[in-house]
Copies of this chain bind each other. A is one copy, B any other.
Amino acid sequence: MLDNIRVVLSHTSHPGNIGAAARAMKTMGLNHLFLVNPKQFPDAMADAMASGANDLLANAVVCSSLEQALQGAVLVVGLTARHRDLSHSMLTLRQAAPQILERAGEAPVALLFGTEMSGLSNAELEKCQLLITIPVNPEYSSLNLAAAVQVVAYELRTCGILTAPISKDFPLAAFEDVERFYEHLERVLIEIDFLDPLDPRRLMTRLRRLFSRAGMEKEEVNILRGILKKAARGRIPK
């Protein structure tokens, strides 16, 4: 299960944190590191901090876009410190671990970490199906990036020891297929005059939230897209 988990670090500022994160991952048996536009990588400080986990750095996949790093992932999990208002499902790390591992029993799961200074951007949050948080001291929540990776990796390893994989009959939809569904849905909602492109408000965000919670299967995405096609056809031209 752990081998299907990738750690995605987005726009990391300090290469030392990338190295320390690699070390943290490897101690817990996580091996797949993806870097979205790191400020400086490869780098000597990253190598020094990796301290024996240099193979993870050597095999790290450097991506120029988040979409690239999420290719093929059936579950995108964002780590966030703050409570977001229009919340996705927001769980503690401990609550989420069993479901992360269950998905990872079938297909790739991405754990997304934002920058050291400001965490995940709103655009990144939109791509997440599940938001998790590490419960910290409210008076001092200064968990550094590698420490957060360490804690998440520990939780998944420990939970994995206690959880046996259950096989699922229906393959899950990949990130890119789900994104195409959202695009299609948005187009049709505009066509049927439900969504005003000049005043979209937060409709798509709300719909994403609903479908994210469900965790859509391939076949379900196909059915919904079939419905969208039919809904758009045969309308009286405006």
Query: Which A residues are within 8 Å of any B CB, using their own CB?
Result: 23-24, 26-29, 51-53, 83, 87, 90-95, 133-137, 140-144, 146-147, 150-151, 154-155, 157-158, 161-163, 165-167, 169, 189, 192-194, 203, 206-207, 210-211, 213-217, 219-220, 223, 226-227, 230-231, 233-236
In the assembled complex, which residues on chain B have CB atoms less than 8 Å from the CB atom of A162? 94
In the assembled complex, which residues on chain B have CB atoms less than 8 Å from the CB atom of A234? 192-193, 235-236
Establish whether residues A27 and B140, one from each chain, have CB atoms under 8 Å apart when the complex forms: yes
- Enumerate the 10 nearest inter-chain pairs by beta-carbon distance, A residue then B residue, closest first: A214-B214, A29-B137, A194-B230, A213-B214, A231-B231, A192-B230, A151-B154, A26-B140, A27-B143, A147-B150
Q: Which of B51, B93, B194, B216 contacts A210 (CB 8 A)?
A: B216
In the assembled complex, which residues on chain B have CB atoms less than 8 Å from the CB atom of A219? 206
- A-B contacts, 8 of them at CB < 8 A, read A23-B144, A26-B137, A90-B166, A92-B161, A94-B163, A151-B151, A206-B220, A213-B215
Q: Which of B87, B165, B210, B215 contacts A220 (CB 8 A)?
A: B210
Whose C-beta in chain B lies nearest to the C-beta of A231?
B231
Establish whether residues B147 and A194, one from each chain, have CB atoms under 8 Å apart when the complex forms: no
